[in-house]
Structure 1
């Protein structure tokens, strides 16, 4: 992968080298991912002198070094609204010779696209390397990385189309020059934040047997424009939790209008909390809104 690419790039010069490494070349001037991916590659070219020079595939290992665990955002979906947000990644590596103590001796990044070298349009990485590394034995290390995702047209999440599944690339180097690289170690879901606005269940208090009207608007964040917009044609559950209970029950499922608006009615029976619950999808987070109604 990049060891092979790095050695080839060393033979190139000037603009030719930059062209050969563009990720992707057609988009190099259109998104910030290409520049960050180039920084990532450059950071690891220096390690090639310490590593074995054997050519490796895009996913491969040279020697007996192993990445044994990668935990991204505590194994939870990473949800981003309209402000920068950080998450942690932990990488555990073992090698009989020990782990090479370089800022990028262990490294990890998240990327969006179909191929790291040829079709990449999103890239999240801490260019300073690990926030900290715990060399907890002579042969093993766990490194913590703090990565910040910034939405907006000049940020990492510059377009809402970057929501969904991202790939995790990880690599590590041993003291003996062994190394492991895997562009598809695992997947992580980075989602646009959803929320409800104007949620209300009323009137309140209400007489038993009378009608309660529940309204609200489902919205989700636009990374392109840094605003929340109505999210239409989405199924939302109306749920109820009786006073004194800890469990919600689904009363009905309704669908948001083209503008995200929701409205439904129920008959008042007992005190309790009404909730709109949106379960989310592969691109959008879960969202809930609550209102307690006193029935007399």
Structure 2
């Protein structure tokens, strides 16, 4: 398996882009550990939680509070914002995103597009609103592996004008998800009242390594029905996808209406709802 990206540390700047390394090669891969090394270079100390004085970081928000979702070819730019405060005012701040138990043991990460310091705008004499943008590429030649889906964390640091500072290894956690798709087909159409309707479908999700969508097996999916002339969806039953992501169940035809499948998603996979399929009952 080839290594798909590496990182470089440049003195005086955080010259690091999102990276990913297959776990089997992590020990020998160039660039592994460079994320923590670069953060240590910026902070001037260990990247672990640390503080001096009364500097604080609060209200950390990633991507507007929503999960960051990637399809097979998605290159996404999103923002991280937070508030930094100190009685002397804020001098500078930055943030780094990473996947792993802590930044010293991260296997993927991203640094701000702005460089080693993000933009902080004063909000009075003691506070600043700070914002950094990040770009991650989920294409086959990009920097995400399927194993990197799930919980990511924000490492953040803020330094005050009086040299007080605070740094947090996990200032905020957020989800990076594989995009999922869901289909539905109810047949026969039309159908005689009282007869059996078979509702099939399939749940797939993005495979960042193959660049294709693959069936997502053993997942609970709700079959929902909306009676014609109404706007309310009612859950008929919950079934599980088979090993290849396929769905199939039967119901009795009672009245005109639409069927759809709905998947709630997981921490590593986005939610999905199929486009409704209308059935004419005669």
Regions of 4+ moved over 6 Å: none
| Corresponding residue for residue 191 of structure 1 | 177
C-alpha contact 2:113 2:134 (8 A) present in aligned 1: no
| Corresponding residue for residue 3 of structure 2 | none
C-alpha contact 1:112 1:165 (8 A) present in aligned 2: yes
Q: 1:90 aligns with which of 78, 81, 87?
A: 81
1:247 deviation in Å? 2.5
Higher helix share: 1
The number of residue pairs the alignment matches comes to: 258
2:114 is equivalent to residue 123 of structure 1: no
C-alpha contact 2:39 2:47 (8 A) present in aligned 1: no
Q: 1:162 aligns with which of 145, 148, 167?
A: 148
* Change over 3 Å in CA distance of 1:31–1:216 after alignment to 2: farther
TM-score by length of 1: 0.78
Q: 1:80 aligns with which of 43, 46, 70?
A: 70
2:147 partner SS: helix
Return 108-117 or 175-184, whichever deviates more. Answer: 108-117
C-alpha contact 2:113 2:132 (8 A) present in aligned 1: no
**Structure 1, unaligned stretches of length 5 or more?**
1-12, 14-22, 49-54
Superposed CA offset, 1:25-75 (max 9, x none): x73763766555544444x15xx5xxxxxx778212111111121011222
Matches within 5 A, 1:132-281: 132-152=119-139, 154-157=141-144, 159-197=145-183, 199-281=184-266
State how far apart, in whole Å, the 1-side matches of 2:107 and 2:148 are: 8
Return 201-210 or 88-97, whichever deviates more. Answer: 201-210
| Corresponding residue for residue 29 of structure 2 | 30
Superposed CA offset, 1:255-291 (max 9, x none): 2121111112212222222111111122211111022
| Corresponding residue for residue 51 of structure 1 | none
**Structure 2, unaligned stretches of length 5 or more?**
1-10, 12-20
C-alpha contact 1:27 1:34 (8 A) present in aligned 2: no
TM-score by length of 2: 0.81
